[in-house]
C-alpha cells in the first residue's frame, strides 16, 4: 500500500500526513522567519523520494519537524529529537530519520525528526551556527508542545547519526549558547543524548573532512576548530550519553566516540560506550545479524536505567 498523497492543513503551518505504517505531523520550525538567513532565490531545497516517502534532503531552506507519536497505550512520556547524518551536505532522512522514529514509536517513545539546514554561506550569515539554531529551537518546540503531545518535558533527549551526531553533541554542549533571540525561558538542553557513529571532533587528525569543511570551512581558525570539537566543550551540565561506534569505521574514526566518552568520564557524567569490531559506517539500526545489531536493545536498556 502506497502512502496517501492528500494532506490536511492544521492551523496555518501544521500538516497531517497519513502513512501506511505511521501517522505523523510536520511543523515549520521558524514560521515567523529563519534567523540569520540570507534570501537567495537560486538556492532551492531538494528532496528525494523512494516509494512515496522522503529518503533524503539537500539544500534545506525550510527547517521543519516530522513528529511521530507512539500509540497512547504504549507511550512512556519520553521524546527524542532525531538528527539524521549526511556530512552536513545532505540528510539521510529515511534511514537515519523516519526509520529511527518508527523504532522509537514501537517502544513507546515519541520520535521527532529534524530536517535541519545544512551549512551554507549562500543562505546564512554565519553557517557554523545554522544547524545549532535549528536544533536548539527544535528542543524548545518539543517542550512547548509537551502537553499536547503527551510528553514529559523532563524526558526529552536527542539522537544523532554521523554528522547528525556532531549536531546532537553540539546541542548537548552548546545548548546555552545564544545563537538567536529566544522569547521565552524554555531550555534547549537535552535530558540525554544518544550518539551513533558520531562526528565529534574538528581535529583534522580524526574528524570527517567533509563535515568539517561544510561547517567551518576549508581553512578554519584554531578557535573555530576548538569551539566545534565537542570533546573539548563538555561541562558538568552536559547530559548523560550513550555512544555506539564500529572499530572498523573508515569514514568517522572511532576515536571520536572514545574522546567524548573519556571527557564525560572525567567529570563523572553517566556515559556508556559500545565499540563493535565490525559494522563500518552508517549501519543505522544494523538489522543484518552482525554484533553491531545489538545496539538498539542496548540503547533501550540504558534509557530505562538512566531516564526515570
CATH number at residue 95: 3.40.50.1820
Residue at 62 is within a domain: yes
Residue at 5 is within a domain: no
Q: What are 130-180's pLDDT values in tens digits?
A: 999 999 999 999 999 999 999 999 999 999 999 999 999 999 999 999 999
**Cα 55 versus chain centre, distance:** 16
Give the DSSP letter of residue 72: T
- Cβ(65)–Cβ(57) below 8 Å: no
Count other Cβ atoms within 10 Å, centred on residue 278: 12
Tell me the percentage of the chain whose pLDDT exceeds 70.
Answer: 93
Count other Cβ atoms within 10 Å, centred on residue 25: 17
Domain of 131, in residue numbers: 12-306
Residue at 212 is within a domain: yes
- Our CA angle for 280, 202, 252, nearest 5°, is 5
Cell of 39: 534570501
Q: What are 248-283's pLDDT values in tens digits?
A: 999 999 999 999 999 999 999 999 999 999 999 999
Q: What are 14-73's pLDDT values in tens digits?
A: 433 434 345 899 999 999 999 999 999 999 999 999 988 899 999 999 999 999 999 999
Give the list of residues 6+ apart from residue 178 with CB closer than 8 angstroms, or none: none
Residue at 7 is within a domain: no
Residue at 6 is within a domain: no
- Band of pLDDT at residue 287, cut at 50, 70 and 90: confident
Residue at 85 is within a domain: yes
What's the pLDDT at 52? 86
Q: What are 214-227's pLDDT values in tens digits?
A: 999 999 999 999 99
How far is the C-alpha of 217 from the C-alpha of 214, rounded, in Å?
6
What's the pLDDT at 13? 36
Residue at 200 is within a domain: yes
- Band of pLDDT at residue 106, cut at 50, 70 and 90: very high
- Cβ(202)–Cβ(234) below 8 Å: no
pTM as predicted: 0.93
Instruction: Check residue 11 and give left, alpha or beta (phi > 0: left; psi -120 to 50: alpha).
Output: left
Residue at 222 is within a domain: yes
Number of domains in the chain: 1
Mean pLDDT value of segment 91-99: 97
Amino acid at each position: 500500500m502506497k502512502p496517501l498523497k492528500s494532506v490536511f492543513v492544521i492551523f496555518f503551518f501544521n500538516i497531517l500526513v497519513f502513512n501506511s505504517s505511521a501517522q505523523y505531523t510536520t511543523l515549520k520550525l521558524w514560521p515567523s522567519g529563519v534567523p540569520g538567513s540570507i534570501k537567495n532565490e537560486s538556492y532551492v531545497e531538494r528532496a528525494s523520494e523512494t516509494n512515496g516517502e522522503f529518503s533524503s534532503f539537500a539544500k534545506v531552506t525550510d527547517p521543519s519537524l516530522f513528529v511521530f507519536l507512539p500509540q497512547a497505550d504504549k507511550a512512556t512520556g519520553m521524546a527524542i529529537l532525531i538528527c539524521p547524518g549526511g556530512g552536513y551536505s545532505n540528510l539521510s532522512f529515511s534511514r537515519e530519520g523516519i526509520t529511527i522514529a518508527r523504532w522509537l514509536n514501537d517502544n513507546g517513545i515519541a520520535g521527532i525528526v529534524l530536517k535541519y539546514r545544512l551549512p551554507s554561506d549562500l543562505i546564512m550569515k554565519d553557517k557554523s551556527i545554522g544547524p545549532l539554531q535549528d536544533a536548539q529551537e527544535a528542543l524548545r518546540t518539543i517542550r512547548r508542545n509537551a502537553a499536547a503531545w503527551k510528553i514529559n518535558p523532563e524526558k526529552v533527549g536527542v539522537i544523532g547519526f554521523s554528522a547528525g551526531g556532531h549536531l546532537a553533541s553540539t546541542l548537548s554542549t552548546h545548548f546555552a549558547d545564544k545563537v538567536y533571540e529566544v522569547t521565552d525561558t524554555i531550555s534547549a538542553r537535552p535530558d540525554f543524548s544518544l550518539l551513533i557513529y558520531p562526528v565529534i571532533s574538528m581535529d583534522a587528525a580524526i574528524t570527517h573532512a567533509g563535515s568539517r569543511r561544510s561547517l567551518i570551512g576549508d581553512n578554519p581558525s584554531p578557535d573555530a576548530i576548538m569551539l566545534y570539537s565537542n570533546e573539548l566543550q563538555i561541562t558538568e551540565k552536559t547530559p548523560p550519553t550513550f555512544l555506539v561506534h564500529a572499530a572498523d569505521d573508515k569514514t568517522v574514526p572511532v576515536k571520536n566516540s572514545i574522546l567524548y566518552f573519556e571527557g564525560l568520564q572525567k567529570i563523572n557524567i553517566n556515559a556508556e560506550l559500545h565499540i563493535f569490531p565490525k559494522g563500518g559506517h552508517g549501519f543505522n539500526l544494523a538489522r543484518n545479524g552482525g554484533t553491531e545489531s545489538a545496539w538498539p536493545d542496548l540503547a533501550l536498556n540504558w534509557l530505562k536505567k538512566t531516564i526515570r
